[in-house]
Amino acid sequence: MKTWLVAGLIAWAMALGAFQALPRCTALDPENGKVGDTIAVKGENLNKTNISEVYLTDGSKDTKAPISEQTDTQIKFKVPEIKPGRYHLAMLTANGASMIEQPVVLTVE
């Protein structure tokens, strides 16, 4: 009986480890910016363990935005050389397996 319980606990712990927390953005500060401005992304699970790169996307083209600071609850990036318009934020996972589009929009002036 004890062997079965230990095996069950080990399997349960391994299953929990398989569910990596997904990054989630809740806000941009500010929501408008110009090329070269610093934008702060607020959210959770935004650290380097989860996110390696940030992109601005208009649905057809993804433009990499250089990250200047990164913590679990915030990423700061500079607005890259892109034309004015509305852009969704997309994040590349640290393992490079997924590009996750976030429900926040930056208006570039």
Query: 5: helix, coil or strand?
Result: helix
Q: Averaged over 16-40, what is the pLDDT?
A: 87
Q: Taking residues 88-103, what's their average pLDDT?
A: 94
pTM of the model: 0.80
Which domains does the chain show, CATH number per domain?
Answer: 22-108 (2.60.40.10)
- What mean pLDDT do residues 48-56 have? 96
- Helix (H) / strand (E) element for 64: namely strand 62-65
CB proximity list for 61: less than 8 A, separation 6 or greater = none
What is the C-alpha separation between 84 and 80, in angstroms, rounded? 11
**Rounded Cα distance, 54 and 56, in Å:** 7
pLDDT for the residue 101: 94
Average pLDDT, the chain: 88
CA distance 83 to 98: 26
Please tell me the predicted confidence (pLDDT) of residue 22.
Answer: 87
> Which comes out higher in pLDDT, residue 99 or 9?
99
